[in-house]
Amino acid sequence: MKLHSDLTIGANTITAYGPDHVAVNGRRYAGSVLLDRQWLEPGWPVASIAALTAEALAPLLARHCDVILLGTGVRQRFPAASLLRPLIEARKAVEVMDTGAACRTFNILVAEGRNPLAALIVEAMP
C-alpha cells in the first residue's frame, strides 16, 4: 500500500554526481549545468567559482523558483556579494554550498514538490 504520492514523476532528478560530472535522469554531463524540475541547460559556461560572472548568473533571474542552489564545486566557496546582488534584489533566495550538497538538496526539494533551481559548477579536472 502506497502512503504518499511520488512527486518526482516527470521531474528532473540528479541521479549521480562526482568531482567531474553530474548526471540528471541518468544522463551524465561533464560540465556545469543549470536545472529546475522541468528545465535543463547543460554546458553552463562556468568551470570554477573564479569564472562566475554576473552574465553567467543572468539566466537565473528569468526562472521562477522557490530557491536557487549554487553548487560551487568540490568545496563550498562564496562568490563576491556583488555577483549575487541582482538575484537578491530580484527577491530570489540563494543558498551557496558545495556541488554535492546542492545535488542532494535539489533532490530533497523536488521530492517535497518544490521547485528549486540548481546552478551546479562541475570543476574541470587537472
125 or 100, higher pLDDT: 100
124/64: higher pLDDT: 64
CA distances for 13 relative to 109, 124, 126, angstroms: 10, 22, 28
In a domain, 3, yes or no: no
Query: Considering the domain boundaries, does residue 125 fall inside one?
Result: no
Residues whose CB is less than 8 angstroms from the CB of residue 66 and which lie 6 or more positions away in sequence, other chains included: 93, 109, 114, 115, 116
Query: Helix, strand, or coil here: 123?
Result: coil
Domain membership of residue 2 (yes or no) is no
Q: Residue 68 forms beta bridges with which residues? A: 94, 117
SS3 88: helix
CATH number at residue 35: 3.40.1230.10
Half-sphere exposure (Cβ direction) of 8: Cα atoms closer than 13 Å = 13
Task: Give domain status of residue 5, yes or no.
Answer: no
On whether residue 45 sits in a domain, the answer given is yes
Rounded CA gap, 4 and 57, in Å?
36
What is the span of the domain harbouring residue 88? Answer: 14-120
Per residue in 103-126, pLDDT (tens digit) is 999 999 999 999 999 999 999 766
In a domain, 64, yes or no: yes
Give CA–CA dist 21/54, Å, rounded. 23
Q: Give the number of domains in the chain.
A: 1
pTM for the full predicted model? 0.92
Q: Tens digit of pLDDT for each residue in 71-80?
A: 999 999 999 9
